[in-house]
Amino acid sequence: MSTNQTAETGPPAHQVPATDAESGRSPAPSPALTLTAALLGFALITLDASVVNVALPSIGSTLGAGMSGLQWVVDAYTLSFAALMLSTGAFSDRAGASRAYGIGITVFTLASVACGLAPSLPVLVGARVVQGAAAAVVLPASLALVRQAYADAAKRARAVALWAAGGSVAVALGPVAGGALTTVWDWRGIFFINVPLGAVALALLVRAPASERRPAPLDLPGQLAAVVTLTAVTFAVIEGGTAGVVSLVVAVVAGLVFVRVEARQAHPVVPLGLFRSRNVSVAVAAGAACSVAFYGVVFLFSLFFQQVQGRSALYAGLMFLPMTGLIAVTNIAAGKLAGRFGPRLPMLLGQSLAVVGVLVLLYVDASTPSVVVAVLLVPMALGCALTIPPLTAVMMDSVPSDRAGLAAGVLNSARQVSGGLAIAAFGSLVSGGFEAGLRVSLALSAGALAATAVASVGLRVAR
């Protein structure tokens, strides 16, 4: 019996109820199956953001990629995901959430096959761009599916919490899954595993009701300017040299065009007026700083365990399990603390813990036992996990309700972009000498976290 049926009004005993096929009716949509489909898709795209890090040395060995090539393998996904997320919410509304979700999962799965079969680095990077674009479609569409599946507000809140938990579990499993697949199979396995998972998500989507299409304006000039700006900045940081200087000039010009376009658009992808609110600006900056620290550290220590300490990919993945395994629990605790004391206190506690955690990692070197490093990674991760839920609440409480979705897109895009740029910058730093570059990268992360912690003191929040 589906959740939309009731037991009280069944047919008389002498009648045999007609099946859905006999009556010509479509099967009743199942909210639980819709939630499972949405959760699986969200977990899949979240997993792909972290599963690759541990496989980077193996990818570099097979495809002959240097540090800059490995940076592009990560950032091609992250930046296309982040930049296009600014518009994909509107696309999901225009196409209908179920249709957009199906398109996104299908393209993501096919791009994963292309990644797994990639004969060269340029092909892999190109396929990663497509993966990221598809992921940007899946994220808002999956959340919209959850919202439409549950009419009751309380049930919907629990469903959204489960959806979010799926992403946290994927973050925790990413490094371990990447290490296990790379060790037992090959680095190509981290992409091929997406095929059966994508197929299951599509099969579950069949039971989801078709979503209505709604008019939603698209800011294509602003979206294009954002893509050019972010790509050019990343290219400048990764490649450097003369080409990097030219790219930086392109980034500045494209950035100015973006600001001009957004100021004139009736429905911009990033309403610049949002940042007139101190709370919004601080929340975005704090989220960006956490992403710099978290994604930068995972990238750096994936290389550290394997290239500096000579460990296997599986061993490296297991070393991240203590830090990632506690994230979901800490997210829940942060929400409870914010509910009781307001968002500012858990934000400050989290940011302070993250700063201390990053500074402690400055004392790590090649002779530090791997298990000790694994333990030292925990405070930074817990600090960031404690910070994100309350800063998200601050962001949502600081904008009108009709702009909540747009504000969430801006926050998530800023976090993804910051993580991608951190990987670009930190990768360039360690390419000139790993331990020296590692320390400079960690110092920059601690500085960013400390600066946003200071800014968070002045937040105006209601208890």
- Model pLDDT for residues 133-181, shown as the tens digit of each residue: 999 899 888 877 887 777 776 777 677 767 877 777 887 788 888 888 8
Classify residue 26 by burial, with Cβ atoms within 10 Å: 0-12, 13-18, 19+.
exposed
Residue-range domain boundaries for the chain: 26-210, 220-268, 274-463
Q: Residue 16's pLDDT is what?
A: 37
User: Is the per-residue pLDDT at 184 higher than 90?
Assistant: no
* 27 vs 43: CA distance, rounded Å: 26
310 φψ region: left (φ > 0), alpha (ψ -120 to 50), beta (else): left
Angstrom distance (rounded) from CA 30 to CA 28: 6
Q: What percentage of residues in the chain have a pLDDT greater than 90?
A: 32
> What's the angle, vertex CA 411, arms to CA 409 and CA 417, rounded to 5?
95
| More confident call, 155 vs 102 | 102
d(CA 217, CA 159): 28
The pLDDT of residue 339 is above 70: yes
Q: Quote the pLDDT of residue 359.
A: 96
CATH superfamily of 26-210: MFS general substrate transporter like domains (1.20.1250.20)
More confident site: 315 or 1: 315
Q: Residue 5's pLDDT is what?
A: 37
**What pLDDT score does 194 carry?**
92
Q: What is the pLDDT of residue 23?
A: 40
Most confident of 87-91, 221-225, 407-411: 221-225
Instruction: Give me the pLDDT at residue 12, please.
Output: 40
The tokens for 456 are: 């968070």
pTM of the shown model? 0.81
Q: Which two tokens stand for residue 342?
A: 């307001």
Closest Cα to residue 286, out of 147, 158, 435, 386? 386
- Taking 90 as the threshold, does the pLDDT of residue 195 lie above it? yes
- Tell whether the model's pLDDT for residue 25 goes beyond 70: no
**Helix 31-50 and helix 153-184: axis angle, to 10°?**
40
Residue identified by tokens 């599986």 is: 314
The CATH fold of domain 274-463: Growth Hormone; Chain: A; (1.20.1250)
Kindly report the backbone phi and psi dihedral angles of residue 269, in degrees, each rounded to the nearest multiple of 5, phi listed first: -70, -30
In 287-354, DSSP assigns E strands to none
Q: What pLDDT is recorded for position 291?
A: 92
Among 80, 174, 68, smallest CA distance to 121 is for 68
Q: What is the mean pLDDT of residues 7-11?
A: 36
Half-sphere exposure of 294 (CA within 13 A, CB side): 30
DSSP state of 363: G
Q: Which of 458, 291, 440, 316 is nearest to 380 (CA)?
A: 291
**CB of 221 within 8 A of CB of 61?**
no
Rounded to whole angstroms, how far apart are CA atoms 175 and 304?
14
Question: Which of 359, 378, 374 lies closest to 453 in space, CA to CA?
Answer: 359
Tell me, rounded to whole angstroms, the distance of Cα 99 from its chain centroid: 22
DSSP state of 216: -
User: Is there a shared CATH topology between the 26-210 domain and the 274-463 domain?
Assistant: yes
User: Given a cut of 80, is residue 7 above it in pLDDT?
Assistant: no
Helix (H, G, I), strand (E, B) or coil at 152: coil
Amino acid in the structure at residue 149: A
Whether pLDDT at 382 is above 90: yes
Q: How far apart are CA 80 and CA 421, in angstroms?
A: 12
Among the listed residues 443, 426, 323, 442, the one whose alpha carbon sits nearest the alpha carbon of residue 384: 323
Higher local confidence (pLDDT), 199 or 343: 199
454: tokens are: 């200071």
Structure tokens at 106: 């299908």
Count CA atoms within 13 Å of residue 188 on its CB side: 11
Exposure string over 345-367, b if 16+ CB within 10 A, otherwise e: bbbbbbbbbbbebbbbbeebeee
Q: What is the pLDDT of residue 445?
A: 95
Sequence-separated (6 or more) residues with CB below 8 Å from residue 216: 89, 90, 91, 93, 94
- Tokens linked to 431: 């390419």
* Torsion sign (Cα): 336, 170, 297, 396: negative
Using pLDDT thresholds of 50, 70 and 90, give the confidence band for residue 372: very high
* 321-335 average pLDDT score: 82
Mean pLDDT of 407-430: 86
Q: Residue 355 has which token pair?
A: 């700063």
Average pLDDT, the chain: 83
